[in-house]
Amino acid sequence: MKKYFALLLTVFFLGCSSGSEKPGPQPVDEGQDRSVMLKSLAERIIVPSYDQFKTKFDDMNAKSKAFTAKPDAQTLAAFRAAWADAYIAWQHVELFDFGPGEKHTIRNFFNIYPTNVAGITANYSDPASNLEVPASYATQGFPALDYLINGLGADDTAILAQYTSDRDAARRLAYVTRIITRMESLLGKVTGEWKGDYMNTFTTKTGLDIGSSTSLMVNGLVLHYERYIRSGKFGIPSGAMANGIPSPDKVEAFYAKNISKNLAQSAHKAYVDFFNGKHAVTGEAGTGLKTYLDALGAKDSSNGKLLSESINAQFTVATGKLDALKSNLYDEVKTNNQAMKDTYNEMQKAVRMLKVDMTSAMSITITYTDNDGD
């Protein structure tokens, strides 16, 4: 009996000893903490980018008021310069088409091109026309302003006549004001929500379901690169997405023309910087999609390198093709269209990496549809 009791005690102490040696919670790689990534992207890139854009927009607004008060060569030139600066700054926030940007469909009201000239004419002829419906997208925003300050005549004298001596001069001036006032209102709503309650929503919805911040953001970003940089700026104008039939009239900033490449470069750089978590003001690298992919250990299956390295390498190739283009993409389509197609093709390679490899590594489901076979 004593031997049996001793055996029970031995088993009991061995069990206690074994339990005390069980490992506790395993440490989590901080790079995989999506709340850290989301907070960094929102505070270091998204909000500062909107602030920078608003500064440029406010200057355009002021110059537009000077022009509508006194349309002459000097005020027109100042308005154009401020418009170009604001349009370039817009490229740094257009990619944020998730959260408040998506809610208020700000992209659709700010940058749908080619602009609808007939619709613009109808709108300034009818001050009560509805600018809040999808049919009005192409009659407002930066492309509409492009037509109104660059495309109303063959030269500045002819354009200014449309605002001074033409019978519809007052209506055109009123429409310029109407467009910019509407843009100002939409921008205020989007930035107000980012600086308000949505910031907390964005940084705390850390799951990977289709309604999570990471899923909404990644879907919005991949869509932006695919449809609005690769396709909109290169694939459609060059004809690479239209059975080889070029459409130079569909380039961005069609009437100004000389800033079309600059717009594309700004959009592409903003995208690459966001991917790498670069601060919108200082350019300092921080937590972002790259660091998150690295923390997940995501590899490029074709070469075994870090996936982020392969994506950045492809971005560099695409940037090289883009930088080699002439400043006027309309002329480039007309005279050197293969270079436009080559740029599209290199961006297409990046699309595959972003849309397939990156989302797979992040366990993100693509929720939008596209018809070009990606």
Digit-coded pLDDT (tens) for 114-172: 999 999 999 999 999 999 999 999 999 999 999 999 999 999 999 999 999 999 999 99
What is the model's pLDDT at position 243?
84
Low-confidence ranges of the chain (pLDDT < 70): 1-32, 371-374
CATH superfamily of 31-205: M75 peptidase, HXXE motif (1.20.1420.20)
The number of residues in the chain equals 374
Quick one: which H or E segment has residue 343? helix 337-352
Q: Strand runs (DSSP E) across 232-304, as ranges?
A: none
What is the model's pLDDT at position 10?
42
What is the model's pLDDT at position 48?
98
CA–CA separation, 164 and 284 (whole Å): 48
Q: 242 CB contacts (<8 Å, ≥6 apart)?
A: 236
What is the model's pLDDT at position 369?
84
Percent of the chain with pLDDT over 90: 89
Q: 123 CB contacts (<8 Å, ≥6 apart)?
A: 129, 131, 136, 139, 140, 175, 178
Q: Which residue has the tokens 């980012």?
A: 194
CA–CA separation, 98 and 194 (whole Å): 11
What is the model's pLDDT at position 32?
66
**Any idea where the domains of the chain sit in the sequence?**
31-205, 207-368
Angstrom distances, CA of residue 191 to CA of 84, 106, 111, 316, 357: 21, 11, 17, 31, 32
**Angle of the 73-90 helix axis to the 47-69 helix axis, nearest 10:** 160
| Integer-rounded Cα radius of gyration of the chain | 26
Tell me the longest C-alpha to C-alpha distance in the chain. 118
CA–CA separation, 275 and 124 (whole Å): 41
